[in-house]
Amino acid sequence: MRPTTEALIVIDVQNDFCPGGALAVADGDAIIPRINALMDDYAVKVLTQDWHPANHASFAANHPGAAPFSITRMPYGEQVLWPAHCVQGTTGALFHPALRTDPADLILRKGFRPTIDSYSAFFENDRTTPTGLEGYLRSRGVNRLTLVGLATDFCVAYSAVDAARLGFDVVVLEGACRAIGLNGSLEDAKATMLDAGIVMEP
Ligand code: VGL
Ligand code: ZN
């Protein structure tokens, strides 16, 4: 068992990001057995859940004429327009049934405000509106994070970079993540994570 200063952060292992889902990540479900086993090693375990209202501004369907995976400009910067996914109350938003959820100390929902997306578990996409996760971890005395989940190049990377910026020591277990892969997004995300001082392990 790892010390109580370390937390496992499991990002968005939800039906819509797994094969058959609305924004399926190739092999997204393949990481689940390893994540389930990792939970036994950590005293502090947090699961995040992408949790959008149906009218969410990140959905292409809410921008007439816009194609999924196109890019638009929001007040807070560029935003990829996604197929509708992880809509509150739908099966797609549920955790994958194979993921162990009982051991989780905290389930953190994000992306619930209609006009702003939230890739990161720490800040919404304006990079300033906090989700509250930093306070939760600090008040529990956590200073080191291991990140796993979906997707490597979006929610995992954004969460890892924000965590490093906040002063946490961050390790990303690449083998326990899978990527969406959109115009070099994985390569970009890896470079950004390495620049931020994040340790990438297999
Ligand atoms: C994610 C795109 C949109 C993710 C969430 O979990 O990486 N990607 N919403
Ligand atoms: Zn989303």
Distance (Å, rounded) from C-alpha 141 to C-alpha 34?
Answer: 25
Report the separation in Å between the CA atom of 1 and the middle of ligand 1, taken as the mean of its atom positions. Answer: 30
- Going by CA atoms, what residue is nearest to atom 8 of ligand 1? 154
Torsion of CA 110, 112, 114, 117, to 10 degrees: 10
Distance (Å, rounded) from C-alpha 79 to C-alpha 189?
Answer: 15
Hey, what are 72's tokens?
């638009």
14, 18, 23, 118: which to mutate for ligand 1, most atoms within 8 A of CB?
23
The mean per-residue pLDDT over the stretch 71-85 comes to 97
Q: What pTM does this model have?
A: 0.98
Distance separating the N- and C-terminal Cα atoms of the chain: 20
Hey, what are 58's tokens?
């990140």
- Going by CA atoms, what residue is nearest to atom 2 of ligand 1? 154
The mean per-residue pLDDT over the stretch 13-31 comes to 98
Hey, what are 191's tokens?
């470079």
With a CB cutoff of 8 Å and minimum separation 6, the contacts of 104 are: 10, 39, 45, 46, 47
- 86 contacts 51 by C-beta, under 8 angstroms: yes
Distance (Å, rounded) from C-alpha 173 to C-alpha 121?
Answer: 17
Q: What is the pLDDT of residues 137-160, one digit of tens each?
A: 999 999 999 999 999 999 999 999
Give the burial class of 202: count Cβ atoms within 10 A of its Cβ; 0-12 exposed, 13-18 middle, 19 or more buried: exposed
What value does the mean pLDDT of the chain take?
98
Report the separation in Å between the CA atom of 122 and the middle of ligand 1, taken as the mean of its atom positions. Answer: 14
11, 16, 25, 50: which to mutate for ligand 1, most atoms within 8 A of CB?
50
What residues act catalytically? 12, 110, 155
**pLDDT level of residue 185 (50, 70, 90 thresholds):** very high
